Amino acid sequence: MKITAFIAKKFAKPDGLTGVMVSYVMNQMNRKQYRMVEDHLALSSQDTVLEVGFGNGTLIRRLSKQAFHQLYGIDISDDMLALASKKNASKISENRVILTKGSVEQLAYKADFFDKIYTVNTIYFWQDISQCLSEVCRVLKKDGRFINVLYDSDYLNKIPMTKYGFTLYTIDVLVALAEANGLALSQTVQKKGACCLIFEKK
**Could you read off the pLDDT tens digit of each residue along the chain, which spans 202 residues?**
577 787 778 777 888 888 778 887 888 888 899 999 999 999 999 999 999 999 999 999 999 989 899 999 999 999 999 999 999 999 999 999 999 999 999 999 999 999 999 999 999 999 999 999 999 999 999 999 999 999 989 889 988 889 888 999 999 999 999 999 999 999 999 988 899 999 999 8
The pLDDT of residue 160: 87
The pLDDT of residue 4: 79
Q: How far is CA 174 from the centre of its chain?
A: 15
The type of residue at 66 is: Q
- Output the CA–CA distances (angstroms, integers) from residue 120 to 111, 148, 165, 195, in the order listed: 22, 6, 17, 10
Who's near 89: CB < 8 A, 6+ residues apart?
none
Are 150 and 133 contacting, i.e. CB atoms less than 8 angstroms apart? Answer: no
Indicate the pTM of the whole model.
0.93
Q: How many CB atoms within 10 Å of residue 106?
A: 9
Q: Distance between CA 126 and CA 168 in Å, rounded? A: 11
Q: Distance between CA 36 and CA 57 in Å, rounded? A: 17
> Which H helix or E strand runs over 177?
helix 171-180
- Output the CA–CA distances (angstroms, integers) from residue 201 to 70, 107, 171, 183, 196, in the order listed: 20, 17, 18, 5, 16
Domain segments of the chain as ranges:
3-201
The answer as to CATH 3.30.420.40 being correct for domain 3-201 is no
Q: Distance between CA 86 and CA 160 in Å, rounded? A: 33
Could you tell me whether strands 97-101 and 140-151 are parallel, antiparallel, or unpaired per DSSP bridges? unpaired
The Cα diameter of the chain in Å comes to: 48
